Amino acid sequence: MEQGQSAQDRTHSLEARMSLMLITPPATQPVTLDEAKAHLRVAYDDDDIYITDLITTATARLDGAYGLLGRCLITQTWRTTMPVPSTAAIVLPLGPHQSVDAITYLDDARNTVTIDPESYVVDYLGSTHPAVLTRVDGAPWPRTVSITFTAGYGDIPDNVPFPLRSAILLHVAHLFENRESTTTLGFLKELPHGYADLVTDYRAWAF
């Protein structure tokens, strides 16, 4: 650790150098068009495309690397590349984590090498706690690793916690009813009342 640099500063420094890439996007949204239309009390089909776009916008506000939660909602695959202290435990971003699919690094000849899954342990898969990776018998990590992982509450909307689905519906309704309150990017200038109460308990601890 550099002189005068706290452990917290060092953690922030590592996070700043971590990259995230979406490999496989979700196959569906956490809220269906029919659910959104029922919530909006819309019986006609004229606005179906518009409402679908609003679902996408409201979901993006919460989901993935750029969402407020620091979590994945529907099952998706990501790759993170990060520097790692040699004997440190690795805490993955963007839970809840379903699996660690591969860990790779570049050797001195710039060849991609896959680390043997038997040489590390993954804790907290399938829980709300971020997955933690440790080497067996204290073996060192390479200086920089790329980790491909699958995350999300599940494959279908019903797997996503009800408060988060309710928040998306609340956001969709507010966008639908207040079109003049959106920015050119489609985001609300102000989130609807009660939204924060629905999502706060699901924000990741350290992301």
**pLDDT digit string, tens, across residues 117-148:** 999 999 999 998 999 999 998 889 999 999 99
For 47, the domain range is 15-202
Total domains present in the chain: 1
State the Cα angle at 175 between 42 and 193, rounded to 5°. 110
Is 170 within the bounds of a domain?
A: yes
Is 4 within the bounds of a domain?
A: no
| pLDDT single digits (tens) 37-71 | 999 999 999 999 999 999 999 999 999 999 999 99
Predicted confidence band at 14 (pLDDT cuts at 50, 70, 90)? very low
Is 2 within the bounds of a domain?
A: no
CA–CA distance, 61 with 58 (Å, rounded to integer) = 5
Is 6 within the bounds of a domain?
A: no
| This prediction's pTM | 0.84
- Report the range out of 1-5, 22-26, 200-204 with the highest average pLDDT: 22-26
What's the mean pLDDT when you consider all of the chain? 88
What's the confidence (pLDDT) of residue 13? 41
What's the confidence (pLDDT) of residue 170? 96
Is 32 within the bounds of a domain?
A: yes
Is 83 within the bounds of a domain?
A: yes
- pLDDT greater than 90 at residue 105: yes
